[in-house]
Amino acid sequence: MNSELRSDFPILARTLYNKYPLVYLDNAATTQKPRQVVEAMMEEYYNANANVHRGVHFLSQQATDLQEGARETVRRFLNAHSASEIIFTRGTTESINLVASSFGQAFMHEGDEVIISEMEHHSNIVSWQLLRERLGIRLRVIPITDDGHLQMSAYEQLFNERTRIVALTHVSNVLGTINPVCDIIRIAHDHGVPVLIDGAQSTPHMPIDVQAMDCDFFAFSGHKIYGPTGIGVLYGKERWLEQMPPYMGGGEMIKTVSFDRTTFNDLPYKFEAGTPDYVAATGLATALDYVAALGMSRISDYEHALTTYAIQQLSTIEGMRIFGPTEEREAVVSFLVGNIHHLDMGTLLDRLGIAVRTGHHCAEPLMHRLGIEGTVRASFSFYNTRDEVDTLCDGIRRVMRMF
Ligand SMILES: Cc1ncc(COP(=O)(O)O)c(C=O)c1O
């Protein structure tokens, strides 16, 4: 799938340390950007730059059309019912914080509960802890099994009359586990509880249909799906968003302002205070069009086959310990080898031109659960190849010989 596509990503042709072709396996942290995305943003800065929703002049109208066109592209990509359910944020983190803060203010009181899981990224833990500081809510945590699945029976038992929301990752950024979000949402809805899905690690790898999933909120980051940094999305069902107070105050989120009283703008602008990163919105829309043209199912099939190959090859290495489910997992493989510290492994692989992530991956509670400090994580994209997986395995063996 990837040979001709790789030329869309100039960075992949780099040689590191004057010697080693770059093998970029840190896609779960951020993906590389195709020329099309960078060029669309350049074109807007060069030829259509003006603040959006403010001017009567030609350029402002053009920039506004691009921004609202981008919103429609996101709507289509997620299969949301309406573009007013698409809020541009700075990324998954801001989207989750928005829900925690705003939903919390509207619907939660001291003693109320949020259900999260043991495999959450810090952004879906700390946001709720901040709300706990503000309101005195409680965090209830779904435990995981040793092979990295949610314990579904424990999940069901966490519900009680104080449960107000479930906030859960779709795909673990460490284990690659694909959570059964449809079941999770159905169970929550049976208890009359809405669900926020953290789609940071699922959106780049599989088709997403928020209506079929029936989630109440869905968050993802542009930079993890071949778009620019600094932009992300919060999808929310209109009926929730309408009842939630604004997250930030400022320009564009108001209808009228006086010193006594302010009335707020309609959705989605109520949640978009200040000048938005409208150029990044264009970049994000271009990235979504790019992957949509490749086909999300095709991307998913290719990456699953590559991940299966990677797990097979990595498993042949002596002392290899791979974390997470053995089957049905996303394109993320976390591992440790013998007694080699993850940081040493990552640093030495880097000297061979191989970019992997090391550490706790912003999931410290999960590390505690696994009884480890951190892992080495290789994460794949459709532009990665089997040759690169082989280079990774050779690199690991080379590092092992140094110890
Ligand atoms: C599962 C998950 N949630 C949330 C985030 C936060 O994303 P961002 O830093 O783009 O806001 C990440 C980033 O790694 C992630 O993997």
Residue 391, domain CATH: 3.90.1150.10
Report, as residue numbers or ranges, the catalytic residues. 362
Are residues 272 and 375 located together in one domain of the fold? no
Extended beta strands in 212-325, E state: 217-221, 232-236, 254-257, 262-264, 320-323
pLDDT in tens, the chain (403 residues): 667 899 999 999 999 999 999 999 999 999 999 999 999 999 999 999 999 987 789 999 999 999 999 999 999 999 999 999 999 999 999 999 999 999 999 999 999 999 999 999 999 999 999 999 999 999 999 999 999 999 999 999 999 999 999 999 999 999 999 999 999 999 999 999 999 999 999 999 999 999 999 999 999 999 999 999 999 999 999 999 999 999 999 998 999 999 999 999 999 999 999 999 999 999 999 999 999 999 999 999 999 999 999 999 999 999 999 999 988 899 999 999 999 999 999 999 999 999 999 999 999 999 999 999 999 999 999 999 999 999 999 999 999 999 9
How many beta carbons lie within 10 A of that of residue 360, not counting itself?
17
Are residues 59 and 187 part of one domain? yes
188 and 83 in one domain? yes
Question: How many structural domains comprise the chain?
Answer: 2
Residue 252 shares a structural domain with residue 218: yes
Atom 15, ligand 1: which residue's CA is nearest? 200
Atom of ligand 1 minimally distant from the CA of 91: 11
Is 376 part of a structural domain of the chain? yes
Does residue 33 lie within any of the structural domains?
A: no
CA of 19 to the centre of ligand 1 (A): 32
Structural domain includes residue 30 = no
Ligand 1 center to 178 CA (angstroms) = 15
User: Radius of gyration over alpha carbons of the chain, in Å?
Assistant: 22
Q: Rounded to an integer, what distance in angstroms lies between the CA atom of residue 106 and that of residue 210? A: 23
* Site to substitute for ligand 1 among 97, 121, 172, most atoms within 8 A of C-beta: 121
| CATH of residue 261 | 3.40.640.10
Q: What is the atom index within ligand 1 of the atom nearest the CA of 95?
A: 11
**Residue that finishes a domain, picked among 236, 264, 293:** 293
Q: Is the CB of 169 under 6 A from ligand 1?
A: yes
Same domain flag for 327 and 361:
yes
Give domain status of residue 45, yes or no: yes
Closest CA to 317 of 305, 329, 301, 333: 333
Q: Is residue 51 part of a domain?
A: yes
Domain closes at, from 293, 321, 353: 293
Decide whether any atom of ligand 1 lies within 6 Å of the 173 Cβ: yes
| 218 plus 195 within the same structural domain | yes
Can you tell me the distance from the alpha carbon of 329 to that of 188, in angstroms, rounded to the nearest whole number? 23
- Residue 154 burial by Cβ neighbours in a 10 Å radius (0-12, 13-18, 19+): middle
Give the integer Cα–Cα distance in Å for 217 and 78. Answer: 11
What range defines the domain where residue 392 resides?
5-25+296-402
E-only strand ranges, 145-275: 163-169, 195-198, 217-221, 232-236, 254-257, 262-264
Non-local CB neighbours of 256 within 8 Å, separated by 6+ positions: 262, 263
* 358 Cβ below 6 A of ligand 1: no
Q: Using CA atoms, how far apart are residues 227 and 225, in angstroms rounded to an integer?
A: 6
- Determine the residue of 27, 120, 123 to mutate for testing ligand 1's pocket, defined as the one with the most ligand atoms within 8 A of the Cβ atom: 123
Residue tagged 């690199």 (tokens): 395
**How far away, in angstroms, is 60 Cα from ligand 1 center?**
32
pTM: 0.98
- Shared domain for 289 and 325, answered yes or no, is no
Co-location of 44 and 152 in the same domain: yes
200 C-alpha to center of ligand 1: Å? 5
Distance CA 16, CA 25 (A): 14
User: Do 151 and 263 have their domain in common?
Assistant: yes
Q: What burial class does residue 22 get, using C-beta atoms within 10 Å of its C-beta: 0-12 exposed, 13-18 middle, 19+ buried? A: middle
Q: Is the CB of 221 within 6 Å of ligand 1?
A: yes
Residues 328 and 231 in one domain: no
67 CB within 6 A, ligand 1: no
Predicted local confidence at residue 327, as pLDDT: 85
231 domain residue, yes or no: yes
Ligand 1 geometric centre to CA of 96 (Å): 10
Residue 236 and residue 369 share a domain: no
Say if 32 falls within a structural domain.
Answer: no
Ligand 1 mean position, distance from CA 47 (Å) = 32
- The kind and range of the H/E element at 377 are strand 375-379
Instruction: Give a yes or no: residue 341 inside a domain.
Output: yes
State which of 293, 309, 340 marks the end of a domain: 293
Residues 97 and 159 in one domain: yes
